[in-house]
Amino acid sequence: TQSTRPQRLLHAVQKNATRGDPRSVVKAIDNFCRQKEWAMNVGDEKGCILDSVVSEVNPVTVLELGTYCGYSTVRIASLLPPRAKIITLEFNPDYAKIARQVIAWAGLEDKIQVVEGPSGEWIPKMKEQFGVKTFDLVFLDHWKDRYLPDTKLLEDCGLLRKGTILLADNVICPGTPDYLEYVRNSPRYKSQYFKSHLEYTKAEDGLEKSVFLG
Ligand SMILES: Cn1ncc2cc([C@H](O)c3cccc(CNC(=O)c4cc(-c5ccc(F)cc5)cc(O)c4O)c3)ccc21
Ligand SMILES: [Mg+2]
């Protein structure tokens, strides 16, 4: 039977990356997507912006919405301090299956918890199920029409604290207009746009970094 793109991406990691070396996993995926098949990873250009935000925040508890094949999960986890953890939500079981194997190849299983299911159902359970108090950093990269409702849900569930950073992918392409309008006009956020390009292309895209003011 025909393999899927995530399966081919995983094989490229297993063929070209060194086990236990997260940066080689990131490089193998970027080379595969640049040379063989485009895939919706945050990519290396926006990935460098992601790296700088993660390094600046030095988060202990991270939430990622939208795991896909685990590219940004590995990128973030490789920069986390020893006891820090990332919870990543993926509703598509096939993506989750591939992501777990990419994460294992990088040797980052101890820092990453892949949770299968939709964000809308899992966000309200974060405290009771995973003992989360509040998140230090949230990376939004799932369905673009879920960024705003899930941000409001995170607020309502008391999962954001003064200073929590929300970092959103694709605010230009495919675009998240209602989310942008909200974080840029709400008195509860201080927002900043990092102009970049859509992964592996010349099209404009960017990341929006928003600080929750409480
Ligand atoms: C509710 N819930 N909870 C967890 C959860 C997890 C998922 C999946 O991980 C999933 C599946 C399919 C699509 C996405 C969103 N990503 C995108 O749609 C995207 C598109 C493009 C692009 C840009 C230009 C194009 F021409 C085509 C695609 C570039 C990008 O970087 C993207 O992130 C995420 C979905 C809903 C979920
Ligand atoms: Mg994206």
Supply the ipTM of this predicted assembly.
Answer: 0.99
- Residue 144 CA to ligand 2 center (angstroms) comes to 9
Contact of 25 with 105, CB cutoff 8 Å: yes
Rg (C-alpha) for the chain, rounded Å, is 16
The whole-number average pLDDT for the span 63-74 is 99
What is the per-residue pLDDT across 79-120, written as a single tens digit (0 to 9) for each?
999 999 999 999 999 999 999 999 999 999 999 999 999 999
Burial category of 129 from C-beta neighbours within 10 Å (exposed 0-12, middle 13-18, buried 19 and up)? exposed
DSSP secondary structure letter of residue 119? H
Give me the catalytic one of 90, 169, 205, 208.
169
Provide the whole-model pTM: 0.99
In this prediction, residue 41 carries a pLDDT of: 98
Kindly report the protein residue whose alpha carbon is nearest to atom 1 of ligand 1. Answer: 118
Please provide the average confidence, as pLDDT, over all residues in the chain. Answer: 98
- Residue 169 CA to ligand 2 center (angstroms) comes to 5
The whole-number average pLDDT for the span 172-187 is 98
- Residue 107 CA to ligand 2 center (angstroms) comes to 23
Bridge partners, 210 (sequence order) = 166, 191
Could you give the CA distance from residue 89 to residue 123 in angstroms, rounded to a whole number?
Answer: 9
The whole-number average pLDDT for the span 184-200 is 98
The answer, yes or no, to whether residue 76 has pLDDT greater than 90, is yes
Using CB distances shorter than 6 Å, the residues near ligand 1 are: 40, 65-68, 89-92, 95, 118-119, 141-143, 146, 169-170, 173-174, 198-199
Least confident of 1-5, 58-62, 70-74, 91-95: 1-5
Q: Give the number of whichever ligand sits closest to the CA of residue 118.
A: 1
In this prediction, residue 40 carries a pLDDT of: 98
150 given a catalytic annotation: no
In this prediction, residue 201 carries a pLDDT of: 98
30 given a catalytic annotation: no
What is the per-residue pLDDT across 118-144, written as a single tens digit (0 to 9) for each?
999 999 999 999 999 999 999 999 999
In this prediction, residue 89 carries a pLDDT of: 99
In this prediction, residue 1 carries a pLDDT of: 80
Kindly report the protein residue whose alpha carbon is nearest to atom 25 of ligand 1. Answer: 174
What is the per-residue pLDDT across 22-68, written as a single tens digit (0 to 9) for each?
999 999 999 999 999 999 999 999 999 999 999 999 999 999 999 99
